[in-house]
Amino acid sequence: MKLSGNTILITGGSAGIGLAFAKKFLELDNEVIVTGRNQDKLDAVAKAHPKITTIRSDAADPKAIADLAHTIKAKFPKLNVLMNNAGVMTYRNLGVDDDLGPLTSEIDINLSGPIRLISSLIGQIRANKGTIINVSSGLAFVPLQAAPIYCATKAAMHSYTIALRQQLQDHEVEVIELMPPAVKTELAPIPSETNVKVITTDELVGSTIKALQKGTLEIRPGQANGLRFMSRWAPNFINGQLAKASKSLIPKPRQ
């Protein structure tokens, strides 16, 4: 992927990882559009970074995705990079009855949303010989006991991205997967008793940019690479370690 002269859409770009990448891509002389659900956060981004275009959109809503795609096609015909970054993580107790609606919210945002947006924009990205970057997680390789549905969405996104890359390889569309380790953001707290090394968004962006320069298609910074290795060579051990480390984060049953 070339690092300058692009028109880039980043979902979930009003904070955290998405905003860190938006600022870096802007610094590298790209046109950057970010989406988010919270208008106040988008307004703050627009005020702090006037050159970043902000659009309110909900990654879980098919109509909002269709409207976003319509806007992008009309106003940004040169769009050639889509970064699917929007995501949520919820700690869940699977051993209790739960409300059925919110139960699959992570699937709607983390998995269904990117799939729908890619399908909505694929013609434009293909015409512009562009790049798709799907943000999954090192937890695509091994699950965290306290976040079972989140981890399942990331494993599914990993599988989907491989198939997407294979299908688009003859259409000059580059498909990249970024699999972050634990990153210091508002997504979810990291248990203090673990040995997990938490990196900053700046560290993640820095290592990712280097990997993009090298043409790496599956980017696994820091401990994400270790999780992949351990999932292959010592799966029972690493699954047990993560299960113990996150057990305290499982919500207690409501009385």
Give the residue numbers marked as catalytic.
150
- Cβ(167)–Cβ(253) below 8 Å: no
Interhelix angle 223-233/235-246, nearest 10 degrees: 130
- Helices 148-168 and 113-127 pack at an angle, to 10 degrees, of 20
The sign one gets for the Cα dihedral 196, 197, 201, 203 is negative
CA gap 19, 36 in Å, rounded: 10
Task: Say if strands 81-84 and 7-10 run parallel, antiparallel, or are unpaired.
Answer: parallel
Q: CA 32 to CA 142: how far, in whole Å? A: 33
Contact 30, 8 (CB under 8 A): yes
Kindly give, in sequence order, each residue whose CB lies less than 8 Å from that of residue 103, ignoring residues fewer than 6 positions away.
92, 149
Determine the Cα–Cα distance for residues 161 and 214; give it in Å rounded to an integer: 19
